Amino acid sequence: MTQKLNIELDDKVFQQLKKVCKGDESAMREYIVQTLKENFNQNDSTQSPKDKEDLESYLNKGQPGSRTYGIKGQGW
């Protein structure tokens, strides 16, 4: 299913897009879609699950009885 989205571009960006696509509106739409897809794919690949720390591992880093352990919600 496709969705329609109207966006406003400043004149400089629009002129650059128009120049790249040689004024072809369908090529401009396709260029925008492809650019967004590439950007989303790049963002997904840079965020590995190892970078996302879960709460349990965060809490386990603190030493029992230390102030930081309490600050993390496990001490007092």
Close Cβ partners of 32 (under 8 Å, ≥ 6 residues apart): 17
> Up-side HSE of residue 27: CA atoms within 13 Å toward CB?
8
CB-based contact 26:40 (threshold 8 Å) = no
pLDDT in tens, 45-65: 666 555 556 777 766 766 666
pLDDT in tens, 1-60: 889 999 999 999 999 999 999 999 999 999 999 999 999 888 776 665 555 567 777 667
Q: How far is CA 25 from CA 14, 17, 19, 49, in A?
A: 11, 10, 11, 39
Q: What is the DSSP letter of 47?
A: S
